[in-house]
Chain A
Amino acid sequence: EADIYQTPRYLVIGTGKKITLECSQTMGHDKMYWYQQDPGMELHLIHYSYGVNSTEKGDLSSESTVSRIRTEHFPLTLESARPSHTSQYLCASSAGQGHTEAFFGQGTRLTVV
């Protein structure tokens, strides 16, 4: 069983609010990722980190920001939520080198009204 947790599972919030989606893992993984998942299923990598104080933007441009102050924690922040941010957000982690099995959290379903 994967030890990676996302909170909240569901969030409905008004336009313009600041939100932070939490992601924590207890596996000591160096690599962590945030994916945005369309209603049509496709996964888009929006942010990743290869270790503490390392963050990179992914393939899909996103208005969100991330931080990696501790190995186990990789929060994602939206300064001003908009309806276009409505989506499922999935956090993942992996050990990195070689066999890159990724472990996923349960996801946060965000709805901005």
Chain B
Amino acid sequence: GEDVEQSLFLSVREGDSSVINCTYTDSSSTYLYWYKQEPGAGLQLLTYIFSNMDMKQDQRLTVLLNKKDKHLSLRIADTQTGDSAIYFCAESPYSGAGSYQLTFGKGTKLSVIP
């Protein structure tokens, strides 16, 4: 079945790099996602990676994908206090009839220490 695992908490100092890890189970996932949730708000798509890619970089964000191990990571360079939030990893396993359904991990709460 589908299962997405992430560590629940991460604490880093401002200016350091943050690395949030995720493992997923369904190899049919075409895309893998990172969503960010700030306090009192809904989730917002942060970045995504296509399953045939190993790495994607977007400004301070780097996504690494190891498809063999079904491991996804999100690296935030020069972490700022504004990056404090909950980060959700998500996979999109095929759910039939040409559709893919998002499955979320439990979220990693990133706390940035000034």
Instruction: Tell me, yes or no, whether A binds B.
Output: yes
Which residues of A are in contact with B by a Cβ distance under 8 Å?
Answer: 2, 6, 31, 40-43, 48, 50, 90, 92, 94, 96-107, 109
Q: How large is the interface on B (under 10, 10 to 19, 20 to 34, 35 or more residues)?
A: 20 to 34
Q: Nearest Cβ in chain A — how far from B65, in angstroms?
A: 15
Rounded to whole angstroms, the CA-CA distance of A31 and B101 in the bound complex is 10
Q: Bound complex: CA of A43 vs CA of B109, how far in Å?
A: 14
- Complex CA gap A42/B8 in Å reads 10
Given A100-B31, A101-B45, A106-B41, 4 extra CB contacts under 8 A: A2-B44, A41-B109, A96-B99, A102-B102
Q: Is the CB of A42 within 8 A of B102?
A: no
Does B42 lie within 8 Å of A105, measured CB to CB? yes
Given A90-B42, A104-B44, A107-B41, A41:B106 Cβ within 8 A: yes
Q: Is B99 a contact partner of A97 (Cβ separation < 8 A)?
A: yes
23 A-B pairs within 8 Å (CB atoms) are namely A41-B8, A41-B109, A42-B104, A43-B43, A43-B88, A43-B104, A90-B42, A92-B42, A92-B43, A94-B102, A98-B30, A100-B100, A100-B102, A101-B48, A102-B102, A103-B45, A104-B42, A104-B43, A104-B44, A105-B42, A106-B42, A107-B40, A107-B42
Residue B98 at the chain A interface, CB threshold 8 Å: yes
Query: B45 near A42 (CB under 8 angstroms)?
Result: no
- In the complex, residue of chain B having the shortest beta-carbon distance to the beta carbon of A1: B44
B100 touches A98 (CB 8 A): yes
A107 to B86, CA, bound (A): 15
Q: Do A97 and B98 touch (CB < 8 A)?
A: yes
Whether the pair A41, B100 counts as a contact (CB closer than 8 A) is no
How many whole Å from A95's CB to the nearest CB in chain B? 11
| Interface hits, B93-114 → A, CB 8 Å | 98-102, 104, 106-107, 109
Cα-based distance from A98 to B100 in the complex (angstroms): 7
* Contact in complex: B107, A102 (CB < 8 Å): no
Q: Which residue of A lies closest to B86 (CB)?
A: A41
Asked if B42 and A50 sit within 8 Å, CB to CB, the answer is: no
Alpha-carbon distance between A42 and B106 when the two chains are bound, in angstroms: 4
The verdict on B84 contacting chain A, using a C-beta distance below 8 Å, is no
